[in-house]
Amino acid sequence: MPLSEFELIRQYFERQAIVRDDVVLGIGDDAALLRVPEGYELVVTVDTLIAGVHFPEHTASAAIGHKALAVNLSDLAAMGAEPAWFTLALTLPEGDAVWLEGFASGLHDLAMQAGVALVGGDTTRGPLSITIQAMGLVPQGQALRRDGAHAGDLIYVSGRLGAAGLALDGLQGRLTVTAGEQASLQPGLDRPQPRLVDGMKLRGLASSAIDISDGLLADLGHILERSGGLGASLRLADIPLAAVGAIAYETRLRAALYAGDDYELCFTVPVSRSENLAAVLPDARCIGVVEMEPGLRGITSAGERIALDVRGYDHFGAGS
């Protein structure tokens, strides 16, 4: 290993970390000291990415650095939190300088953009795995949660869905795509953009929120379950889909419903606040409504109602 652990930490992580004045003590001591302002709650989340499980083995290291932080910031976005700090536990097979250079650049570029400071971590040798813990701040009592949806609330998504899932299918040969289509899908998989600004704007507006990491139906299902076992109807034609070349509508719709990794937000808003929402987030799309009756139902453009299965495509094919 060409670099010692301490050189590696200094060169790739300590020197490049952004500076915030609420970091009393950052990298270099036994632990970090962070100042939470009066009237705020600390929001904490952690996610691990393992090579071959959460990203294909040969993914560019800059994309891995970006994504490891992006998925955590996306959790903060879904809570309505403003990102502040993060820690990084990195397990590496070897201290490969080229790999580290790319990883650190992907990581720090996004950290800079989000204003989030790296304040500590751990570095070990073993099969490649990256764990990031992100911390954010939210005014007391204003966090967005999964458990606040009510029957009658409108269901929204923050942007187009399905690109990441289509990109992965294209990469792994489950879907035939042209080189141009793959190139236009790939950023959705490699460089998800956490919806931090949207999340903060939703404070006081959304009754519940989640980020879409497992697919729209699965993640909306978490909101409905947490909110007391509610259900929903979705107008399928209103779901904003990845727009790519000649890929069939039905393939893109399935990716939007069932594939994950897009990191858009799904949230609910009481009808009484829907005009406020449209003023604050004009690009958010209303795709359906929360209902008392448990389960997920799709409404086709012909007005036909079909049962949607969170786990599979079975019921879906017939109605599309």
> Interface with ligand ADP includes 30 (CB under 6 A)?
yes
Burial class for 55, CB neighbours closer than 10 Å (0-12, 13-18, 19+): buried
**Member of 65, 102, 106, 121 binding ligand ADP (CB under 6 A):** 121
**Which of 121, 270 has the CB closer to ligand ADP?**
121
Q: Which of residues 91-130 bind Mg ion (CB under 5 A)?
A: 122
Minimum distance of ligand ADP from residue 30's CB (angstroms): 4
Angle at 42 between CA 37 and CA 43, to 5 degrees: 145
29 binds, among Mg ion, ligand ADP, none (CB under 5 to 8 A by kind): ligand ADP
> Interface with ligand ADP includes 90 (CB under 6 A)?
yes
Distance of alpha carbon 2 from the chain centroid: 35
123 binds, among Mg ion, ligand ADP, none (CB under 5 to 8 A by kind): ligand ADP
> Interface with ligand ADP includes 263 (CB under 6 A)?
no
Are the CB atoms for 66 and 106 separated by under 8 Å?
yes
Collapse the DSSP code of 179 into the 3-class scheme (helix H, G, I; strand E, B; otherwise coil) and give the result: helix
Question: Which residues fall within 8 angstroms of residue 314, CB to CB, at 6 or more apart?
Answer: none
**Member of 64, 73, 118, 223 binding ligand ADP (CB under 6 A):** 118
- Quote the strand ranges of 142-264, DSSP E: 154-157, 208-211, 231-235
Choices 116-124, 166-174, 248-256, 282-290 (CB under 6 A): range interacting with ligand ADP:
116-124
Residue nearest to Mg ion (CB): 122
Are the CB atoms for 298 and 237 separated by under 8 Å?
no
Minimum distance of ligand ADP from residue 121's CB (angstroms): 3
How many residues lie near ligand ADP (CB under 6 A)? 13
- CA 123, CA 288: separation in Å to the nearest integer? 45
Are the CB atoms for 20 and 82 separated by under 8 Å?
no
> Interface with ligand ADP includes 84 (CB under 6 A)?
no
88 binds, among Mg ion, ligand ADP, none (CB under 5 to 8 A by kind): ligand ADP
The per-residue b/e assignment along 175-210, b for 16 or more CB within 10 angstroms, e otherwise, is bebeeebbebbbebbbbbbbbbebbbbbbebbbbbb
> Interface with Mg ion includes 6 (CB under 5 A)?
no
Q: How many residues does the chain have?
A: 320
Using CB under 6 A as the criterion, what x/- string covers residues 181-210 for binding ligand ADP? ------------------------------
Point out which residues bind ligand ADP (CB under 6 A): 9, 13, 27-30, 88, 90, 118, 120-123
